[in-house]
Amino acid sequence: MQSPISWQDGVPVSDIYGDIYFSRESGLQETNYVFIEGNFLPSRWLNIKDNFHIIETGFGTGLNFFAAWKLWREMDNGMELHFTSIEKHPLSLSDIQTAISIWPEFNKFMDEFSAQYPALLQGETNMILDNGRVHLHLSWGDVNEIAGRLNKPADAWFLDGFAPAKNPDMWNNNLYKDMARLTLPGGTFATFTAVGDVRRGLQENGFIVKKVPGFGKKRHILIGVKN
């Protein structure tokens, strides 16, 4: 089922959750700060010797994925990036294209993505992009059901999916247990939220959690590593 959205000053807003998909100050800068830098990807990818797997909760407009893909191409390390994203309320291709169009640096990436994005948004979709160097696996459905079926170990997590207060069903101990099960030793996570319940849930499931300064008006975010 496609997610109904509204547009406010060029920013997409979920009509289901009443929350924005990215920051009004600068969505791309926030993504790079929270998810790319928060998982230490530039330094980790510098001398990488194996393929890398990111799991994301909430594909949304795809901004996090496009940012990761762009960095991966720039690093040109010869490995494969595997990106698994779970989305309960997928956006139509036209909405994704409109949202991402404000960043022209993604135009070439969007052309390739658009050619494989399905018209029927249910089940699973696998895309092989960038001459086989990037593998995008999209699962449409509830994260509490899908995460429990995943078995490919994760090097990093992008914990997105709207604020816990607006989407409490996603942020629960079942997710944190699946993260603990799937995350490789030394694997990381990053999330825009700093809510105490999230911090404690991750700590109780084997993550070392650190609260660091947030982006823009956000006071703090959480980052962490599998202990």
Torsional class of 49: left (φ above 0), alpha (ψ -120 to 50), beta (otherwise):
alpha
pLDDT value of position 205: 97
pTM: 0.96
9, pLDDT greater than 90: no
Closest CA relative to residue 54, chosen from 149, 141, 140, 138:
138
Could you give the percent of the chain with pLDDT greater than 70?
99
Q: Domain extents for the chain?
A: 5-226
**Which 8-state DSSP code applies to residue 133?**
T
Q: Give the chain's radius of gyration (CA, Å).
A: 16
**Which 8-state DSSP code applies to residue 147?**
G
Q: Are 128 and 135 in contact (CB under 8 A)?
A: yes
Q: 5-226, superfamily in CATH?
A: Vaccinia Virus protein VP39 (3.40.50.150)
84, pLDDT greater than 90: yes
**Which 8-state DSSP code applies to residue 22?**
S
159 vs 53: CA distance, rounded Å:
14
pLDDT value of position 3: 66
Closest CA relative to residue 183, chosen from 158, 163, 200:
158
- Average the pLDDT over 146-175 and give the result: 93
Confidence class of residue 163 from pLDDT cuts 50, 70 and 90? confident
2, pLDDT greater than 70: no
Please tell me which residue, 2 or 8, carries the higher pLDDT value: 8
- Average the pLDDT over 83-104 and give the result: 95
186 vs 44: CA distance, rounded Å:
11
Instruction: Give strand ranges (E) for 78-165.
Output: 81-87, 123-129, 134-140, 154-159
Taking only the tens place, the pLDDT of each residue in 98-143 is 999 999 999 999 999 999 999 878 889 999 999 999 999 999 999 9
Q: Is 211 helix (H, G, I), strand (E, B) or coil?
A: strand
Number of C-beta neighbours around residue 26 at 10 A: 13
